[in-house]
Structure 1
Amino acid sequence: MDTTRNILSVSEALCHLVVLMLTLGQGVRLMPVPTDVPMCTASETAQYRLTFTGKWTQAAFPKQYPVYRPPAQWSNIIGVTHSSDYHIWQRNEFASNGVREFAEKGEAWTLMKEVEAAGERIQSVYGILSAPAVVGGTGQTCTEFEVFARHSYLSFIVRIVPSPDWFVGVDSFDLCDGDHWKENVSLELFPYDAGTDSGFTFSSPNFETIPQDRITQITSSFPSHPANSFFYPRLKHLPPIAKITLTKIKKTNQIITLPVEPTQSNQLPTGNEIEDKLINTPLDCEVSVWSPWGLCKGKCGDSGVQHRTRYILMHPANNGAACPLLEEERKCFPDNCL
């Protein structure tokens, strides 16, 4: 009996040990340690100035350029500093409800709640940053923020206004380089589709995408539809629609400063920091299909003439291909002639 009890006790102990090891193993899997992410070993925090520059001009993007109701402009900037295990948005992944509301309507309440929840749950978010909207397709706005070694990544999102659900932004840009911080960074920005609205043009009415698509980058050939406001089949690549510069600044005792008011000029700012050349994207004329041939007009016994027409869908711009003839005629013989 004693031997039997000892065997049962050992068996129970082994069983508890196996359960404990499995539990610990599951715990480790729930909180993986990234092995392919370079570790930041910078000993001090760093402060940066983020400058957002809109480059959405009618010369660079002439197709359906929004001039009024509302004119081309940008939303305010919403961003976070965080660790490598967090993403406010990701290319080829589904947008969260917060990103959806911001990309479609510019409403940031749900997005901020998601950021706060991530910060409380997995301690991955260090700080939230914002900057005022740019009230035009071009202009600047800027803000300042702080990063440190454990949270050295920057992500942000800016809505394109007007648009169905289009935005520009950066996902998880690491400002740390080994044991030191990067001094100056310039990044060109291109449009993204949040995958939640199916509109093709800047002013498309709300048309929910069911089922929801993943976030994709918009290019000169994707989506491949002539109605798309960014569809320029003659271009290999779209010109950048915006850009940001990140400049490391001297540390102060202040963690984050108030955002600087944006410029309201209709021209791209000029100066030492920005030396962009204005881009002129050629826009070819687009015409409708031909109408049916009209009635044959002429005297009985003689040949007559009939016409067909088409109309201009898109006028050319920036030395794009000129419009073809909008009317044709051909000889015919009148029908039902008495």
Structure 2
Amino acid sequence: MDTAKNTLFFCRLIVMMLTLVQGIHSMPVPTDIPICTASETAQYSLTFTGKWTQAAFPKQYPVYRPPAQWSNLIGVTHSSDFHMWQPNEFASNGVREFAEKGEAWTLMKDVEMAGERIQSVYGVMSAPAVVGGTGQTCTKFEVFARHSYLSFIVRIVPSPDWFVGVDSVDLCDGDHWKDSLSLELFPYDAGTDSGFTFSSPNFETIPQDKITQITSSIPSHPANSFFYPRLKHLPPMAKVTLTKIKKNNQIISLPVEPTQSNQLPTGNEIEDKLINTPLDCEASVWSPWGLCKSKCGDSGVQHRTRYILMHPANSGAACPLLEEERKCYPDNCL
């Protein structure tokens, strides 16, 4: 009897597997994914430029312990079926550790395992940290047709779990490689820490949120370091420039150390520094009304106060009155 039952079970299992296989083969093949047919590999130089200035981001701009800066850049070249990170998806443990602490060991382990398991990763790259909110760091990398995509991540320092980066930028255009590409970078929240300000203490997000882009109104909390309700869009925090290295020319060696923010800026950097984001004054809530100062039977005056949470900058709205008074009559007069 048991043998008959086992035979029937395996027969049903085989039917289910055949049905599944037929279903997979009948599924439509996506045609919107571009296919790279470039016959040769290509080398690129990558230049990351920080644009995080106090004029562009005046709210709670970190000036010490630690001052505004960027972590080292960690990137990969890969195929279309791999993602280092994705907006609106949960961050991996590796991305979490890097976004919160700047530790890259777990992230590199994740990348290595993906490369071994599905052969979707071709190369790993890194570039030195930038020691200020502005400045540059550079690296170079190689791509080929099967692995024509680039992804990277750079941690915003200090921050709870904020970063900038790119997700799956395709450097191939049909049968040839793109000569150059420049992208502006905006902040993302890894969804693993619930701090609102650059220097917030560690406060784990439970349950974990998905990776979201930070905007001038999201998160919509006045304490948030990026909350600028008068702006439609945040200024870019950084930019990345990708330039194909011509094989016929001598490859110029790239710097191994980032440029310092106090070096002479280029024309584009001068233009970037002219961005002045207005920051309105922020005041606290009013205190309770004080005691009524008066003799019994006579009207008197009582006061309440508030204080400045944040001073205005870059022609932002001026601070309101910090003290109010009103007429009153003393209570419990005998």
Same fold by TM (over 0.5)?
A: yes
Q: What are the equivalent positions in structure 2 for 1:69-88 lying under 5 Å apart?
A: 69-88=65-84
Cα deviation, residue 274, structure 1: 8.0
Q: 1:49 to 1:161 in 2, by over 3 A?
A: same
- Percent identity over the alignment? 90
Q: 1:252 to 1:73 in 2, by over 3 A?
A: farther
Cα deviation, residue 192, structure 1: 0.3
1:122 is the counterpart of 2:107: no
1:197 is the counterpart of 2:186: no
Q: 1:280 to 1:272 in 2, by over 3 A?
A: closer
- Whole-Å Cα distance in 2 between the matches of residues 323 and 302 of structure 1? 34
1:94 is the counterpart of 2:90: yes
Do the aligned partners of 2:51 and 2:272 also contact (CA within 8 Å) in 1?
no
1:126 is paired with a residue whose SS is strand
1:164 is the counterpart of 2:160: yes
Once the two structures are superposed, residues 226-277 of structure 1 have per-residue CA deviations (whole angstroms, 9 ceiling, x without a partner) of 1111011110000000000001112389999776310112478314798535
Do the aligned partners of 1:130 and 1:259 also contact (CA within 8 Å) in 2?
no
Do the aligned partners of 2:279 and 2:317 also contact (CA within 8 Å) in 1?
yes
Q: 1:33 to 1:98 in 2, by over 3 A?
A: farther
Q: 1:199 to 1:95 in 2, by over 3 A?
A: same
Cα deviation, residue 28, structure 1: 6.5
2:148 alignment partner in structure 1: 152
Q: Residue 156 of structure 1 aligns to which amino acid in structure 2?
A: F
Q: Residue 179 of structure 2 aligns to which amino acid in structure 1?
A: E
- Whole-Å Cα distance in 2 between the matches of residues 142 and 255 of structure 1? 14
Q: What are the equivalent positions in structure 2 for 1:226-237 lying under 5 Å apart?
A: 226-237=222-233
The count of aligned residue pairs is: 321
Q: What are the equivalent positions in structure 2 for 1:1-338 lying under 5 Å apart?
A: 22=18, 25=21, 35-251=31-247, 260-266=256-262, 269-271=265-267, 276-338=272-334
Superposition TM-score, scaled by structure 2 size: 0.89
Cα deviation, residue 313, structure 1: 0.8
Q: Residue 222 of structure 1 aligns to which amino acid in structure 2?
A: I
Cα deviation, residue 334, structure 1: 2.6
Q: Which runs of 4+ in 1 moved over 4 A?
A: 18-21, 26-29, 252-259, 271-275
Once the two structures are superposed, residues 257-313 of structure 1 have per-residue CA deviations (whole angstroms, 9 ceiling, x without a partner) of 776310112478314798535210000001111111111112344322111100111
1:276 is paired with a residue whose SS is helix
Do the aligned partners of 1:44 and 1:148 also contact (CA within 8 Å) in 2?
yes
- Whole-Å Cα distance in 1 between the matches of residues 24 and 252 of structure 2? 35
For the aligned residues, what is the CA RMSD? 2.8
- Whole-Å Cα distance in 2 between the matches of residues 109 and 27 of structure 1? 40
Q: Which runs of 5+ in 1 are unaligned?
A: 1-14
Q: Which runs of 5+ in 2 are unaligned?
A: 1-10
2:272 is paired with a residue whose SS is coil
Q: Residue 102 of structure 2 aligns to which amino acid in structure 1?
A: G
- Whole-Å Cα distance in 2 between the matches of residues 334 and 44 of structure 1? 89
Once the two structures are superposed, residues 194-239 of structure 1 have per-residue CA deviations (whole angstroms, 9 ceiling, x without a partner) of 0111111111111111111100000000011111110111100000
1:115 is paired with a residue whose SS is helix
